Amino acid sequence: MNGLLRFFEIVYFHHRNSQKRIIFEDAVYFITSKTHNNYPYFRERIFCELFVENLRLCKRLKEFLLYGWVLNYDHFHSQIQPNDEFNISKVMQFLKRNVSRNINFIMGINNHDELMHILTGSDNDHCRLQMECKLYTHIKIKWLLKYRFKIKYINKNPFPKFRWKKTFHDEYTRNDKSFDNHLDYIIYNLDKHNLPSDWPYVYTNPKYDDLIDD
């Protein structure tokens, strides 16, 4: 009984919007997060590529297990298992914050804030590793995507400032059936939202095998 209680140890995490989130130890979660006002930023594939790069960086720094994900025009789903140090709220805070900051950087919004972040290393956790990632990989990819965006939209940026909805939805994966159903739902999303038949931003794409854990 004590072991069961330890496994289902509950931590209440207070978000800035005062929402209480129940966090289970060693649990797998199905996550959904939407853009502000459901704006379809991710119709632009440059933003999609940046999202994937930030997902890769987040996974490396926060050391969670990722079993499935899909990016839609205005939201994404993922199935992840956080570790003891970084719970689901910390993972999502990092991912959403960096995606927002980097997409706005590509659009030419808040460039000063992005520069100060790079120079000061404003993220405290795993600061050295994070700076190495940014200097050698992450920064290069961002500047390449920024260049592509500038060439594509040479006259005017057609997008509003990028923002996520403040919170996100999480569902505790209770058993193997629930686990499989969530992965099936991720695949079903491609048809549900009428995404193109060649839509690549889903975990079944072999291009992203390095992101997926068995």
What are the boundaries of each domain within the chain? 27-211
What was the pLDDT predicted at 3? 46
Quote the pLDDT of residue 205. Answer: 95
- Note the pLDDT of residue 6: 42
Give the pLDDT of residue 142: 87
| Interval 94-127: pLDDT, tens | 999 999 999 999 999 865 555 445 444 445 545 5
- pLDDT score recorded for residue 2: 43
Burial class (CB within 10 angstroms; exposed 0-12, middle 13-18, buried 19+) of 167: middle
Q: What is the pLDDT of residues 150-174, one digit of tens each?
A: 999 998 899 999 999 999 999 988 8
CATH class of 27-211: alpha beta
* Greater model confidence, 155 or 56: 56
What mean pLDDT do residues 200-210 have? 95
Asked if residues 130 and 89 have their Cβ atoms less than 8 Å apart, the reply is no
Choose the most confident range, by mean pLDDT, from 3-12, 70-79, 164-173, 182-191.
Answer: 70-79
3-state DSSP helix/strand/coil % of the chain, to nearest 5: 50, 15, 30
Check residue 119 and give its pLDDT: 42
The tens digit of pLDDT for each residue in 180-197 reads 999 999 999 899 999 998
Share of the chain above pLDDT 70, in %: 76
Alpha-carbon gap, residue 96 to 58, rounded angstroms: 10
pLDDT for the residue numbered 117: 52
- pLDDT bin (cut points 50, 70, 90) of residue 19 is low
CA-to-CA distance for 77 and 69, rounded, in angstroms? 5
Across all residues in the chain, what is the average pLDDT?
82
pLDDT tens for 140-149 read: 888 899 999 9
Helix, strand, or coil (residue 31): strand
